[in-house]
């Protein structure tokens, strides 16, 4: 009888389930390593120290002093042509888009004129741009939607712009910023690189970098911050060979591989 009671108590309480992994505490206490212990994984380099508000202010003050009114490089005539240019610029250079749109916008600078031009002719104008067949479809579809649902105007909210064929979050941010003066942050490849490399706004994807930049950049700089960062990435903080020696913010940058 006594044996039966003892067996029940043991089963309910202290007995640990069998596990392939030894308990953490036990491993820490153990003096030696097991023979088949895995090799230690190389340590990641430590996270850079976040920028202080004073440093962020200093960096953007320098960008502003150097270029008080930065401009985007996509040529356009109005919010509609800006929207079309941004849609065409996906995986293409601004210069390449401009070469095609100069002639296109001379004949079609409104959704109505674009529909009148038609998809076949539009394809001819933009055939030097990558993915032009799909982009032509999207431009015609978004033009039809602008007329049907927005009175032929480019809408002013992110959700409405994102509802247009071919337009995503980055497109909405560019249009809201450049056409309507909103404090949005469009993250392209350059802004993504600069945000991460400098340590100003680290993130694993464009949305994380966008939100991090919005958090740290003071409102007084937000109207132009997107352009300053793009231009910085395009002409100074180049992907392969950043020009750290002439960089305006090289003393603030956290990149361990900077060359100054």
Question: Which residues are annotated as catalytic?
Answer: 170, 188
Q: How distant, in Å, are the alpha carbons of 32, 38, 239 from that of 62?
A: 56, 49, 22
Separation of alpha carbons 109 and 131, rounded Å = 21
CA 107 to chain CA mean position, Å: 33
Q: Which residues bind ligand SF4 (CB under 6 A)?
A: 197-198, 236-237, 242-244, 247, 249-250, 253, 255, 258
The DSSP letter of residue 245 is G
Whichever of 217 and 247 has its CB closer to ligand SF4, that residue is: 247
Which of 79, 84, 96 minimizes the C-alpha distance to 130? 96
Whichever of 81 and 198 has its CB closer to ligand SF4, that residue is: 198
Q: Please, what is the minimum distance in Å from the beta carbon of residue 22 to ligand SF4? A: 44
CA 168 to chain CA mean position, Å: 12
Q: Please, what is the minimum distance in Å from the beta carbon of residue 221 to ligand SF4? A: 16
Q: Which two tokens stand for residue 212?
A: 């991090």
Whichever of 98 and 236 has its CB closer to ligand SF4, that residue is: 236
Whichever of 144 and 244 has its CB closer to ligand SF4, that residue is: 244
Q: Please, what is the minimum distance in Å from the beta carbon of residue 202 to ligand SF4? A: 13
The DSSP letter of residue 14 is T
End-to-end CA separation in angstroms for the chain: 81
Which of 56, 89, 84, 26 minimizes the C-alpha distance to 194? 56
Location of structure tokens 């390449």: 96
Q: Please, what is the minimum distance in Å from the beta carbon of residue 218 to ligand SF4? A: 19
């Amino acid at each position: 009888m006594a044996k039966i009671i003892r067996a029940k108590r043991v089963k309910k309480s202290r007995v640990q389930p069998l596990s392939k992994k030894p308990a953490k505490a036990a491993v820490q206490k153990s003096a030696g390593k097991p023979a088949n212990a895995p090799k230690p994984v190389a340590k990641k380099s430590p996270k850079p120290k976040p920028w202080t508000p004073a440093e962020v202010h200093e960096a953007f003050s320098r960008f502003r002093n150097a270029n008080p009114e930065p401009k985007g490089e996509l040529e356009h005539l109005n919010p509609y042509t800006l929207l079309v240019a941004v849609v065409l610029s996906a995986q293409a250079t601004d210069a390449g888009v401009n070469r095609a749109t100069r002639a296109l916008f001379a004949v079609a600078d409104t959704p109505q004129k674009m529909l009148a031009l038609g998809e076949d002719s539009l394809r001819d104008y933009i055939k030097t741009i990558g993915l032009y067949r799909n982009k032509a479809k999207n431009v015609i579809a978004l033009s039809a939607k602008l007329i049907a649902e927005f009175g032929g105007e480019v809408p002013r909210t992110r959700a409405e712009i994102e509802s247009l064929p071919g337009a995503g979050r980055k497109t909405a941010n560019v249009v809201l910023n450049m056409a309507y003066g909103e404090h949005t942050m469009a993250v392209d490849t350059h802004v993504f690189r600069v945000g991460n490399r400098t340590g100003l706004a680290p993130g694993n994807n464009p949305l994380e970098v966008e939100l991090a930049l919005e958090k740290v950049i003071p409102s007084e700089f937000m109207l132009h911050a997107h352009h300053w960062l793009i231009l910085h990435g395009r002409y100074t903080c180049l992907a392969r060979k950043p020009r750290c020696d002439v960089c305006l913010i090289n003393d603030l940058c956290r990149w361990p591989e900077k060359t100054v």
